[in-house]
Amino acid sequence: MAKNNLTTITRFVLMGFNDLPKWEVPLFLVFLSFYLVTILGNLGMIILIQVDVQLHTPMYFFLSHLSVLDACYTSVITPQILATLAKDRLMISYGQCAAQFFFFTICAATECFLLSVMAYDRYVAISNPLLYTVAMSPRRCWCLVAGAYGGGLFGAILRTTCTFSLIFCENNQINFFFCDLPPLLKLACSDTTNVEIIIVFFGNFVILANALVILISYLLIIKAVMRMKSSGGRVKTFSTCVSHLTAVALFFGTLIFMYIRSSSGKSLEEDKVVSVFYTVVIPMLNPLIYSLRNKDVKAAFRKATGRFQVSQILHN
């Protein structure tokens, strides 16, 4: 009977926000505006870093990859949210669900690794500024980025393989707006104990290990800053870390709340709210966080807009 039921589950139905029918149009407009701002902001950051030679440093090299991840991250999720809101619910195939789960996981895991790489970069820049460009050579930067993507890829393969090795039968309605782990586990007909142990262990390891790297990096940064004689120099030096600290607090805070906190008392409604925050809101906020508090980015933006205005005047 399990085999017969398994053959019938070739599609899943994403229920989205069907419990809020009166809010579907306002939510559609809100998510659409968020998506447009996210894509424009992250693409703008990538282009700005590429065209301005002053931003051709390791710090902005890593930031450009963070923008790439955020643009991909939100593009995996937000269009599907818009589709569920437009149609009240959305039917997707088993393969589409697995693909979305895979790409969502690789983006999230890679961002964890990349944020810890960026913390290490800040430590090297502050602790030994004279040898910073030597220590963070282009080769080393590419190796660190490749390691982040490699870690994300391994995590995505492991998580996707384990999740979709489960048997799904009878109920195919996912009470969520994308194929995430908690709602999929609720639909599984087979025993999920071993799968949960593997996925939870690896997920917690990735989050906590990278959080530990970031914590150690900032403890060493604080130690290096406290050695500085000038109080003004301390403030100026540490201010270069504020944007990264804000991004880390937002991203890791929501991941810990979503995946590491106790499962007792958790509800899918809470998970929906938290998931919206880290899949839609954070990718939109990151380019704003790094641009509004960064003098180099603001200077590069003014220079780029100035060139555009001059070219428009000459063209006219």
Q: What is the pLDDT along the chain (316 residues), one digit of tens a residue?
A: 444 444 457 788 888 777 776 778 888 999 999 999 999 999 999 998 898 888 888 999 999 999 999 999 899 999 988 888 887 677 888 889 999 999 999 999 999 999 999 999 999 998 888 888 889 999 999 999 999 999 999 999 999 999 998 888 878 888 888 888 888 888 888 888 888 888 888 888 898 999 999 999 999 998 888 887 777 777 777 777 888 898 999 898 888 877 776 555 566 677 778 888 888 999 999 888 887 667 777 777 677 666 555 455 555 5
Helix intervals (H) in the chain: 2-8, 24-51, 58-87, 94-127, 132-135, 138-163, 181-187, 193-226, 231-239, 242-255, 268-276, 282-292, 295-315
Burial tier of 231 (Cβ tally within 10 Å: 0-12, 13-18, 19+) = exposed
pLDDT for 4:
47
pLDDT for 137:
93
Place of tokens 């800053």: 225
Per domain, the residue ranges of the chain are 2-308
| Element of type H or E holding 174 | strand 173-174
pLDDT for 261:
63
What distance in Å separates the CA atoms of residue 37 and residue 161, rounded to the nearest whole number?
A: 33
What distance in Å separates the CA atoms of residue 58 and residue 141, rounded to the nearest whole number?
A: 7
The pTM assigned to this predicted structure is 0.88
Arch. (CATH architecture) of 2-308: Up-down Bundle (1.20)
What distance in Å separates the CA atoms of residue 159 and residue 145, rounded to the nearest whole number?
A: 21
pLDDT for 2:
43
